[in-house]
């Protein structure tokens, strides 16, 4: 059985990278009829400092973004991580088998902790162990994510394998979760620097397109996006040394549903002066219905809360037996 699990953190607003790298694929998987669970991972959101006055509202906003992007609460389970306690409990069990050395090699921790590693929280360091629990507590088989999460997924697979080996005599109690990294934009880069990933926490708002940006702001950000002085290429190979151009082409391809080589042919010999307005129009066309739907949903928080309560109930029903069985395998006393 194919069971899909994927999540986003309620840290700031979602951006085009989150949409193209993950969310758009979530909707496709749901519409193919897979069993899907989509979480808002608020326990991850507190690991790098957060504002308690904003957390609940950001959580609702992420849920609204899921629904506005096409996740249908009647077909998929939308839930909040902290309302399913089994995530944290399984994480603690996994923290007894995850190795410090492996966690130290995680590039996202290095990027986020920066130069002051010793001041980073234990939670930020242990993030991939909680992520392994998020996935395995549902025995999820497939995890649609952006390229940046590949290393964390690999660790989740290692934890599953170690657990199966140590406590289940090699039986596959936890399945090996497969990353699903698809689309023309699996790693959307910053609009200011084509070698850095588009990120919610990057200082400059001009580096990303937020799902809440209006048409004028989207057009402004694309017009001002860093590009290069060369004419647009007539073959895809020539994009290899041009990260900014490559990024803008990937975004165009992913939004239009065309292959990147086709987009290259369409704009061959033209300049950014022609390409950027076409890209801006496409972004507005695809994102503005999502933005409009998000604000409608946000005007009715009680409805979002109802969806999240129903999602929590379903998610708890799936997660609790897995946690209990994992504890039995580990030999815990239970009343």
Residues with catalytic function: 112, 197, 200
Residue 65 or 298: the one with the smaller Cβ distance to ligand AQP is: 65
In 191-271, which residue ranges form alpha helices assigned H by DSSP?
A: 215-223, 243-256, 260-267
Continuous segment of H or E residues that includes residue 8: strand 3-8
Residue 77 or 190: the one with the smaller Cβ distance to ligand AQP is: 190
- CB of 25: closest distance to ligand AQP in angstroms? 9
3 state DSSP class of 15: strand
For ligand AQP, the nearest residue by Cβ is 21
- CB of 62: closest distance to ligand AQP in angstroms? 8
Cα-to-chain-centroid distance, residue 55? 18
Continuous segment of H or E residues that includes residue 17: helix 16-18
Q: For residues 45 and 14, give the distance between their C-alpha atoms in angstroms, rounded to a whole number.
A: 13
- CB of 234: closest distance to ligand AQP in angstroms? 27
Residue 49 or 229: the one with the smaller Cβ distance to ligand AQP is: 49
Q: Which of 82, 35, 37, 36 is nearest to 58 (CA)?
A: 82
- CB of 167: closest distance to ligand AQP in angstroms? 29
- CB of 205: closest distance to ligand AQP in angstroms? 12
Q: How many CB atoms lie within 10 A of CB 90?
A: 26
CB burial of residue 273 (10 Å; 0-12, 13-18, 19+): exposed
Residue 27 or 326: the one with the smaller Cβ distance to ligand AQP is: 27
Count Cβ neighbours within 10 Å for each residue of 47-63 and write b for 16 or more, e otherwise.
bbeeeeeebeebbbbbb
| Angle subtended by helix axes 52-69 and 24-31, to nearest 10 | 50
- CB of 144: closest distance to ligand AQP in angstroms? 7
Residues in the chain: 335
Residue 62 or 304: the one with the smaller Cβ distance to ligand AQP is: 62
Residue 102 or 200: the one with the smaller Cβ distance to ligand AQP is: 200
- CB of 333: closest distance to ligand AQP in angstroms? 36
Q: For residues 99 and 83, give the distance between their C-alpha atoms in angstroms, rounded to a whole number.
A: 27
Binding site for ligand AQP (CB under 6 A): 8-9, 11, 17-18, 21-22, 145-146, 148-149, 186-188, 197-201
Cα-to-chain-centroid distance, residue 73? 18
Cβ pair 110, 151 in contact under 8 A: no
Residue 84 or 326: the one with the smaller Cβ distance to ligand AQP is: 84
CA end-to-end distance (rounded Å), the chain: 32
Cβ pair 163, 96 in contact under 8 A: no
Cα-to-chain-centroid distance, residue 9? 8
């Amino acid at each position: 059985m194919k069971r899909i699990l994927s999540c986003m953190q309620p840290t700031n607003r979602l951006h085009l990278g989150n949409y193209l790298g993950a969310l758009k694929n979530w909707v496709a998987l749901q519409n193919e009829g897979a069993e899907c669970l989509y979480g808002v991972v608020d326990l991850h959101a507190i690991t790098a400092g957060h504002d308690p006055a904003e957390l609940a509202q950001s959580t609702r906003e992420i849920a609204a973004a899921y629904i506005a992007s096409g996740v249908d609460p009647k077909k998929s389970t939308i839930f909040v991580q902290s309302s399913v306690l089994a995530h944290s409990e399984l994480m603690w069990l996994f923290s007894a088998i995850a190795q410090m050395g492996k966690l130290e090699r995680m590039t996202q921790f290095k990027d986020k902790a920066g130069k002051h590693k010793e001041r980073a929280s234990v939670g930020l360091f242990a993030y991939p162990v909680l992520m392994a629990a998020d996935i395995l507590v549902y025995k999820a088989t497939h995890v649609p994510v952006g390229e940046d999460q590949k290393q964390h997924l690999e660790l989740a697979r290692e934890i599953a394998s170690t657990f199966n080996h140590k406590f289940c005599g090699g039986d596959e109690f936890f399945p090996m979760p497969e990353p699903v990294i698809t689309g023309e934009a699996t790693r959307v880069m910053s609009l200011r620097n084509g070698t850095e990933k588009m990120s919610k926490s990057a200082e400059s708002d001009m580096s990303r397109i937020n799902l809440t940006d209006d048409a004028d702001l989207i057009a402004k950000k694309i017009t001002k996006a860093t590009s290069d002085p060369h004419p647009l290429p007539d073959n895809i190979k020539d994009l290899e040394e041009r990260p900014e151009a490559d990024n803008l082409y990937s975004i165009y391809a992913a939004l239009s549903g065309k292959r990147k080589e086709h987009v290259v042919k369409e704009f061959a010999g033209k300049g950014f002066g022609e390409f950027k307005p076409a890209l801006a129009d496409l972004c507005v066309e695809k994102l503005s219905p999502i933005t409009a739907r998000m604000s409608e949903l946000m005007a009715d928080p009680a409805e979002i809360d109802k969806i999240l309560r129903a999602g929590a109930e379903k998610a708890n029903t799936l997660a609790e037996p897995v946690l209990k069985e994992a504890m039995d395998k580990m030999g815990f006393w239970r009343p």
